[in-house]
Structure formats: structure tokens, C-alpha cells
Structure 1
């Protein structure tokens, strides 16, 4: 029996929206402050997936400079109508603090929603058109009568209100790219609260509304309701939740929710949803929110349920009866002798990557130009890839000649501006020095820097090794075969949603990559010769 191993999209890949066009399946996921915006993966058997597009790749579509951590692109929805692909998304500009000194006040947040379209999923998508700003998690529903509707959750910023005010719907004119008529509030949610992530499906005479509830933490859930009229009223599923891992903080798949349905060619429904995989014995998910999938069943009463009717996630569901379609493994060799950034890498917020890095100024190297300090919300020279394994090794080699203490470059594990581990080369009293910078809400000081002694001349190799909750850094000169282990056994689990300052959003995941700063404003560059990432279920390399 062939099974699917969940999650199907490991590492930071939350809020999946799934679509089938013919024999092709596509999943779009949130990217928050990482650029380019939105990841779209492609499969033909639901088991094997490949990244085919990041459609929001220029300033006329997305510019997130200044966006706070975990803002930017939320919950994209991918659909197909009129022979073209439609992508609708929120570009969150502000995440207001809801309490001050324990008092609950107004929560002023900015949630502009946009739509883009393209004839080919991997083509050049249109400029973004603003639709509304009334709440986040927009989605398009294309009805059988040819009309399209936009859904989104309604945000209520007023003090003493529930914030999550329900799901609204409004007619969308595809030709004019605008909303018409008045919005209708069609569903106020259940007692679980935090009603968001809406999708509508038409089956027989019923409109089925699927939402996420319970918040995106341990009590996250998929909830459904139905109505014979698109505008309601909607009757809640008699079982309450359709899928949840509530109450389980140590299982293989936790935090399950924010789902979307797809129907196979034979009519079988499958549910894709986000999940988390906590480090064993610690309720912390260092890989962030990932994407899983499993088959569902329409029961005789017309309601959707899991195969066993238990509303539980499946770690290894049986694969559908589709021809296996594994994709060719075109593994990158780690060298930067190429004319474009390897597809696994992204950067933060800005639509002007030419100010951050170049593959041409020094052929064979990735040159990072020192920009703002690590943690900046505007222009930060940080190029990184998702952490996809709890056991991993990441190694890089850089050539860098800092001239003052304000300049640094090196290897970074980054969750957001308040949580990272950064092993960098800087300079003290005229000599190059290795420095370990740590940012964590668990520190007495928000950021600490510790010097690790002088460095020899020439290129330096830096290495990070993770094994569950343990993280170790090491270094060596390019000519040496011996790694110098830093005397720190670090807690890798601070790089998770679960470790945070009160009131701050934490919706992303850990990235590992390369960074360069120059607080003097001189844009001093650092040249990286290669970057290697290895990971697996077993230890990928021994911690020396």
C-alpha cells in the first residue's frame, strides 16, 4: 500500500489553498514577510510536490518594507475561472497591540486585500488590484451561475468587541476586477471563536462553508456549516468540528486547522490543512506551521467527516488511486556559479533584491551588500531557506573583510526580528573576530553578543547543526579539516511560535541562511562561495 507522508509541504508552509485543474493539483501557501510572495506547489498524485511559482515578485504586486514580523502576505486563495488562475491575498500592514497594562482596548489593524490573475500558474501574474480592507483571509467562490463572490473574515477593532466578527461575502466582478453591491455577514462562527479562513463549496443543493476556528495554536480546528442559500442562514455541522488535534501538544501532527477541500477526478474529497510538529517532550514547533493532506468522506446525512469519523489528522493516509508522478530530483550543488538565486531561497520584505545581493559582481559567489541591522523591518541583506528538518546541518563559506565593528556577515538561523541565532564575522580592535549574536524573548536582554576570539586571514567556513532542541555552531578556515566547536549548546526551540513576547504575532517558521550588515551605511559586501543544507529523520551529521 502506498501512503502519503504528512506533512506534504514540510517547513514553513501554512494556510494551504488547494485547487485541481484537470489532472493537476496546486497548493498556495502564506509567506508573510518573506519575498517573493506566496508559494505555489504542483502535484499530479497528491504525494509528490514541487515548487512551481512565487507569483508576487515585483513592487506593483507587493512591497512589504516596514511591515512588522508575521505581517505581509496572509492566507492566499487560489482558484480557476474564465480559463485563468486567480489569486487573492491579504497584505497585512499593521498588527495592533490589543492590551496595554492588562486593559483591553481598540485593536487597529490594516488588512488590504488584493487580487492578481494569470493564464498560466508559472507565468507573469498581473499587477495587484485592491478590493477591500475589512478583514483578512479572502477567498473567491465561483458559482455555477457564472458569478463570483469574495469572502473574508470581518475584523472588529472596537474595544470590548470580539475582533473576529464573522464571515462576510460580496459579489466580485471578474471583468472589472472590483466588488459590487453590499457585503453580507453570513456566518458569525461557533463558540470556538477566532472564525477565519473561509471557503465555500457547492454540492448538490447545498452551499458548504468551511472555516478555521479556535486560533492557530493548540486548539485550532476545521469547522463547517451549510445552507441552501448562498447568503445563509448557515447551519453548523452536527459534530462541531470536522478536524482538530485539540488537547494534544505532543502528537506527530498538532495545531491542525485552516483547511481547504479539493475533489479528485473520481469525486473523492481530500482536505488539506496546516499542522505543527512539536519537538518531542517540548511543545514547540521549530519548523513552523506546515501543510498536510488526507482523504475525507461525505456521509449519508450530507456532512463531511474524516474516514473514521473521529475528526483526527492522519500522519500517513493511503495515497489516492492516481498514477505515481515523482518529480525529477534536480538537486542544487550548493555553488553560486549560476545566474539566478536557487529557488529554495527568499529574502525579507523588499521588491528590490538588487540592493541586497548579486550573483554577477563576483562571478561564482553570492555577494550580499551590508544593509540595515539584523532584525530590520525595511532593508535587510538576509538570504535564507526554510528549515525543513528537526535534525539538520547547514554550512557556508564566506570571504569577508570588515573594516569596523558596525560591519558583520555570517550564518544565521532566523525566525523573526526578536528570535534568531547569528554566527558572524566582525572586527574588534583591528582584528577579525567571530561573534555569536542571540535574540530571544527568554533572555534578560533582548539581544546578546559574545566574541569567540580572533580569526585567521582568508575565507572562513561556518556550520550550524541542529538535533531536536539542541543547536551547535562551529567554524574552520578554508584550509583546515578540523572544526572548531563553539562552547555553547543552544536551545533551538526558541525559534518557534510558542516562544514570544506578549502581544506579538508569531505565524512563520525558522529559516537558515546568510546575512550581511553594515550599520555605517557603506554597504560593505560579503561574498559567499557556497551554501549546503542537509536534513533528515536521523541525525544528518554527528555533533562533534
Structure 2
């Protein structure tokens, strides 16, 4: 059996494809750099982070963007005719004043590992663009068209537009093809598939929260009209249909229903066919802490087995529409990959370690497998932050490092961090005050800075730092170089605070853990980290 989620931790908006015997999933990365994660599998069960698509700051500028802005909802396809991979994505800049200021782009490559082309501008009508290639090799772009006017249904409509691969431009203006297949509202994430002369329009509806779902409509003409499947939605965590058209709330906490599955918020999907004709659907989901209904791991990626009915509709293989914790494997030869847990030196660089908004080359060098990080702005900044982090993939985990750092003024700090975003994080850090070195815990709680612990250290010594996440509890330990035993810090912190639902700023990302350095004096102070260790327990 395949155990869900197949991509735990921050992996929203999955798009799955198969190219010969290889399966790939692209997921959103928002403000994190490099952007657009690509995962790889041979059997749909075992996955590993293979690469990232956007690794050049000239191609994607994320600086100064608020949390949860940046790169949204990549769509990944393979053009068998031209033998190229194609990725479309949204760069979201602002969601202020009911406007969504964004641009949609396309990049392509002959190899999934790159190099990728320079981004080609598509349009700015709305988010979640995807490409469909018809039998005559015509390209089409579909997306949500965002609606900001009074007296029009929000969030908008699903639109379609031709794309000319020769001129690299869209043709004319986008035309509406759907207002949704149900009345749940909050339509988005359109993808078009073709089978037996039908065009199938797959949508996410109900908001990317507890009313989320996957719907299906079809037409014999790509421009519509599209008829909705009577049994919509085809996958969901919330079985009861409801009418919330024109309601802007996408979280819908009141729609939470346990329904015998740990997977909540199931929606935003894509499908693929195996080598022997089996069908699977990937979708985002979340696993909330109860009773708080807070999702520290954010939106993750799960998979469901599907089947086609005799009358040409797609449904879950067991005939229901409830997202399952475990699904039947396709029977492919199992291929396992090296775990991304364990103790890692920094050469070769682990693909799992990424940074908010900027390329690590601006503040990091590697020597003898050690990471040397130059301090810049605070973790509150939207600009130049010296943080190297990876996704939390379990709420039962630990991480640690060994650090050499000699602060000289109070603006010098370095250590480890639990980081949801620039307004919610928790650090165990070494710093300087009154000619002494200290170890302290700083909590940023919805933008409020709180000093939670401070203890004097022996001067100018190497220090080991460790964090333990034990479900709802976060604790810290440290060990100075001249000591043999770890010292427990008698403070317990609430894991559930690092979640979409706790944030007061409308974010929807997930929790990371990592190492950082801050120098808010001269932007030059260095810290050396021997390794980074992370383990799911």
C-alpha cells in the first residue's frame, strides 16, 4: 500500500506527470528559493526531491515579497512532439485591496534537470495557469480569471486562451469556459485532459481549506459548454456539498469533518496514467492538530487510485470520493531512494536546504564540508536573510548542528530556528551582551518579539544546538564544547503556533527548521556550521 501523504511537509499544489518510466511532481514554493520543487519516483510510492526549476534570481525576483506570495501553483507537462518539459507558474506580488497583482510565465527544458529557458510572459488575468496541448499540437492556457469588481461573483471564472509557441505569445483575450462544477465556490486550479474525444476540466473548489475538493466537467469542444459530473466532487475531505459561491473565505474552519481520515483540505489535483493503464490522482491535503485545527506541516501532497466508469467519468477506485490515508500500489517494481533524513555535511549541497527569497550564494560559502554563513538582516526581514532551512516533514522529529560563532556586539546572533515565516518563528541563538556571550531563546509571535530564556556561556567556545519537536511540544538542548552531556532548557513551546491557522497575516505556507546568522551592525559577522542533522522519529 502507498501511505499518504507521499510528500509530507510543505508541498502544496502538486502537478504529476509520467514520462516513459519516470514520474515527476512539481509543487509550489512561494517565497522560498530556489523555486518550484521537482520530485521524482519510479513506483508512485517512493519519492525524492530531485531538483528545482527556478534557480536564477534574474528569472524570478522574490525579494520584499510578503510570506505566501511568490511562486504559486506550477503546472508541469511534457510535450512528446517537441520532446520538452514545460512548466507554467504564477508570480504573486500583492493581494491588497481585492486586487491580485500577478504575472503568469512559462519555462521549458529538454531535460527535467535543466537548464530551463528564460521565463516567457503569458498573461496576468489570474493565478494557477496550466497548459493543454491538443491533438493538432495547438497550445492552450487555462487559469482562474480574478474578479475584483463589485456585483460580480468572486473569485472569478475559469478562462481559456490560445498560445502560439512560435511567437511565444497568447492570442487575443481569455474567454470564460466555466464558473465551477459545484456551488462550493472559490474555484481555481484548472487543468484540461483529453480522453476518447472528451475534454475534461478538472478544478479545485470550496477554497483551499476544510471545504476543499476536486471536481470534473467535460465537453466535446474545448471552449465548452462543460457538463458537470452528477457525483461531484470526485475527491474531497468534506463529503457534504454546500453553497458558498461568492464567499471569499477559503479556510472554512467550520467545514472540518473527521470522516475517518487524517487527510483534510483535499483538493487542487492532477492525474497521470501508469505504463499499464492504471490511473492515479495527486492532490494537496493537510493534517491538523486536534482540537486546535492547526496544520504545522502546511499543505502536503497525497495520491489516490482512480478508475474510469463505463460512461466516461473519472472516480476513485473504491467508488467513493473520500481522500484515503492508504491506497493500492500500481504494482510497479519498487525503487527506493536515499533518505533525506540524517546528518549532512554541506558538500555536496543537499537539495532539501533552501532559503527565503534570495540565493544562498549571497551569504554562504562551503569549505571542507562546513557552511560558513555571513550574517545579514533579522529573520523578520523580507529582504536579505541568512537562513538555510528545510521542510519539517513530521511533527515528531529533531534537528541539530554544531556551531563556531564569536559575537562581538549584541546585534550578532546565530543558531537554529523553527521558522514558519518572518512573523512567526522560534530561535535558539548565541549572542553578546555586556562583554559576555549568552545563549537565548527568542520567539516571534505574530510579529511580537519575546525573549524567553537567557543563560551565560563560557567565552569563545564551540556549541552544539538541538531542537526536539514532540507533536505539540518544542524543546531545546545545548552542549558546550568542553562538556560531555546535553543541557536541557526548561522551556516548552507550542508547535501549533507555527501554522496557517495561527498566523494573523493570512499566510498559507508551512514550518521549516534550519540554521541562521544575523548581523544587524555591519552585515559581515560569520558563523561556521559543521553539519546539519534532521531526523523524523
Q: How high is the TM-score relative to the length of structure 2?
A: 0.93
Secondary structure of 1:54's aligned partner: strand
Partner of 2:179: 188
Taking the aligned partners of 1:322 and 1:533, their CA distance within structure 2 comes to 30
Contact 1:296 1:304 in 2 (8 A): yes
Taking the aligned partners of 1:137 and 1:367, their CA distance within structure 2 comes to 38
2:67 is the counterpart of 1:69: yes
Partner of 1:109: 100
- For residues 42-53 of structure 1, the aligned pairs below 5 Å read 42-53=40-51
Secondary structure of 2:327's aligned partner: coil
Contact 1:249 1:283 in 2 (8 A): no
Query: Which structure 1 residue ranges, 4+ long, deviate > 3 Å from structure 2?
Result: 159-163, 247-251, 328-333
Secondary structure of 2:118's aligned partner: coil
Contact 2:377 2:519 in 1 (8 A): yes
CA 1:198–1:314 in 2, change beyond 3 Å: closer, same or farther? Answer: same
Contact 1:410 1:515 in 2 (8 A): yes
Contact 1:243 1:256 in 2 (8 A): yes
Taking the aligned partners of 2:72 and 2:350, their CA distance within structure 1 comes to 24
Secondary structure of 1:354's aligned partner: helix
Partner of 1:423: 428
Contact 1:245 1:254 in 2 (8 A): yes
Of 346, 351, 362, which aligns to 1:343? 351
Partner of 1:517: 518
Taking the aligned partners of 2:488 and 2:340, their CA distance within structure 1 comes to 32
CA 1:163–1:68 in 2, change beyond 3 Å: closer, same or farther? Answer: farther
Taking the aligned partners of 1:356 and 1:169, their CA distance within structure 2 comes to 43
2:280 is the counterpart of 1:273: no
Moved more, 156-165 or 323-332: 323-332
Taking the aligned partners of 2:224 and 2:340, their CA distance within structure 1 comes to 49
Deviation at 1:511, TM superposition (A): 0.5
Partner of 1:433: 438
- For residues 501-516 of structure 1, the aligned pairs below 5 Å read 501=504, 504-516=505-517
Secondary structure of 2:454's aligned partner: strand
Deviation at 1:332, TM superposition (A): 6.0
Secondary structure of 1:521's aligned partner: coil
Deviation at 1:182, TM superposition (A): 2.7
Taking the aligned partners of 2:340 and 2:430, their CA distance within structure 1 comes to 32
Contact 1:433 1:451 in 2 (8 A): no
Moved more, 68-77 or 525-534: 525-534
Unaligned runs of 5+ in 1: 97-105, 537-544
Partner of 1:130: 121
Deviation at 1:451, TM superposition (A): 4.2
CA 1:431–1:77 in 2, change beyond 3 Å: closer, same or farther? Answer: same
Partner of 1:488: 491
Contact 1:366 1:528 in 2 (8 A): yes
Contact 2:29 2:71 in 1 (8 A): yes
Partner of 1:401: 406
Secondary structure of 1:493's aligned partner: helix
Partner of 2:252: none
Partner of 1:297: 307
Secondary structure of 2:78's aligned partner: strand
Deviation at 1:301, TM superposition (A): 2.4
Taking the aligned partners of 1:490 and 1:64, their CA distance within structure 2 comes to 30
Taking the aligned partners of 1:463 and 1:175, their CA distance within structure 2 comes to 54
Secondary structure of 1:144's aligned partner: coil
Taking the aligned partners of 2:91 and 2:31, their CA distance within structure 1 comes to 9
Of 211, 214, 221, which aligns to 1:219? 211
Contact 1:92 1:110 in 2 (8 A): yes
Partner of 2:248: none
Taking the aligned partners of 2:148 and 2:340, their CA distance within structure 1 comes to 48
Of 174, 177, 180, which aligns to 2:168? 177
Contact 2:62 2:357 in 1 (8 A): yes
2:527 is the counterpart of 1:526: yes
Secondary structure of 2:54's aligned partner: coil
Taking the aligned partners of 1:230 and 1:392, their CA distance within structure 2 comes to 48
Deviation at 1:113, TM superposition (A): 0.6
Taking the aligned partners of 1:282 and 1:10, their CA distance within structure 2 comes to 20
Secondary structure of 1:112's aligned partner: strand
Partner of 1:283: 293
Deviation at 1:329, TM superposition (A): 5.0
Deviation at 1:159, TM superposition (A): 4.2
CA 1:330–1:313 in 2, change beyond 3 Å: closer, same or farther? Answer: closer
2:340 is the counterpart of 1:358: no
Contact 1:85 1:120 in 2 (8 A): yes
> Could you list the per-position Cα deviations for residues 42-85 of structure 1 after superposition, in whole angstroms to 9, with x for gaps in the alignment?
11211111222101000232110011101111000001111000
Of 457, 460, 464, which aligns to 1:461? 464
Secondary structure of 1:93's aligned partner: strand
Taking the aligned partners of 2:169 and 2:445, their CA distance within structure 1 comes to 43
Contact 1:135 1:152 in 2 (8 A): yes
Deviation at 1:281, TM superposition (A): 4.1
Taking the aligned partners of 2:14 and 2:429, their CA distance within structure 1 comes to 35
CA 1:162–1:447 in 2, change beyond 3 Å: closer, same or farther? Answer: farther
Taking the aligned partners of 1:331 and 1:194, their CA distance within structure 2 comes to 37
Taking the aligned partners of 1:373 and 1:239, their CA distance within structure 2 comes to 51
> Could you list the per-position Cα deviations for residues 351-372 of structure 1 after superposition, in whole angstroms to 9, with x for gaps in the alignment?
4x22221114xx4421111111
Count of residue pairs brought into register by the alignment: 515
Moved more, 132-141 or 233-242: 233-242
Taking the aligned partners of 2:484 and 2:344, their CA distance within structure 1 comes to 19
What's the Cα RMSD here?
A: 1.6
Partner of 1:239: 231
Partner of 2:19: 21
Of 196, 204, 208, which aligns to 2:200? 208
Taking the aligned partners of 1:435 and 1:276, their CA distance within structure 2 comes to 32
Contact 2:341 2:536 in 1 (8 A): no
Moved more, 170-179 or 135-144: 170-179
Deviation at 1:162, TM superposition (A): 3.5
CA 1:49–1:401 in 2, change beyond 3 Å: closer, same or farther? Answer: same
Contact 1:243 1:257 in 2 (8 A): yes
Q: How high is the TM-score relative to the length of structure 1?
A: 0.92
Contact 2:353 2:388 in 1 (8 A): yes
Taking the aligned partners of 1:507 and 1:176, their CA distance within structure 2 comes to 36
